[in-house]
Amino acid sequence: MSWETILSQLEEGTIRAAEPDGDTWKANIAVKKAILEAFRVGKNVSYNGIYEGFVDKQNLPPRMFNTEHGVRLVPGGSSVRRGAFVAQSVIIMPPAYINIGAFVDEGAMVDSHALVGSCAQIGKNVHLSAGVQVGGVLEPVGLSPVVIEDDCFIGAGSVIVEGILVKKGAVIAPGVTLSKSVPVYDCVNEKLLGKGAPIPERAVVIPGTRPINSSWAKDHGLSALCPVIIKYRDEGSDASLELESALR
């Protein structure tokens, strides 16, 4: 298939940049190659009309929405790039950005100053709070992008990058950073999940610290940041995270 066809299918949600593979996800290499090809053949042009003053690839313009799409794109500087899928009942608050190849499923909230990076996968009813950064992954083509599964709550200012998987119903507290280089500690089950480990279903993750064990670091009382699972969601947690229907 041509890159034009694949980008159109991405926008329709009939193909995705990553797909479930058992307990994990795998990249759709053909999709990522098509996106890279679109960048390669595209040429920078000056945009006109409502985008006058902007310069980008002529084949990757921002998407336009109407009421038939069922998306609420609030005025104020947000943009959804070509090749991104945004499902019905998604709310996008300004300014936010959804990049090429991303998938944002039904009922999700993309709040102010949030980024959904290239090929990132956002599940149903996910809340991306203000300032959340979900990193994009285009290269290497075999690397799975960041995936946030259904019913997750991602707190303000959190950063999730490098293909991290956040499983269903997890809660990421404000200010947590998840990447392949940062180990995850599970205080409930008293075990180290390891660097870049998937965040388990319904886990509640807060910012923590761990000591740096070199003599010099110990002498200076230094610690490194790390994500800590402090509990798993219960009925009280669920109630506190419910979105008011009026927001829809």
| pLDDT confidence of residue 241 | 67
Sketch the domain layout of the chain as residue ranges. Answer: 3-182
User: CATH number of 3-182: 2.160.10.10, 2.60.40.420, 1.25.40.10, 3.40.50.300?
Assistant: 2.160.10.10
pLDDT tens per residue across span 55-104: 999 999 999 999 999 999 999 999 999 999 999 999 999 999 999 999 99
- pLDDT, average across residues 196-206: 97
Tokens 């500087």: give the residue: 77
- Distance in angstroms (rounded) separating the CA atoms of residues 74 and 187: 40
At 181, is the secondary structure helix, strand, or coil?
coil
Angle between helices 29-41 and 3-12 (to 10 degrees): 120
Cα 133 to Cα 57, 66, 110, 118, 208: the distances in Å are 23, 26, 11, 12, 19
Type and span of the H or E element at 232: strand 223-232
pTM for this one?
0.93
At 86, is the secondary structure helix, strand, or coil?
strand
pLDDT tens per residue across span 114-162: 999 999 999 999 999 999 999 999 988 899 999 999 999 999 999 999 9
pLDDT tens per residue across span 5-51: 999 999 999 999 999 999 999 999 999 999 999 999 999 999 998 88
For 25, residues 6+ apart whose C-beta sits below 8 A from its C-beta are 18, 19, 121, 144, 147, 165
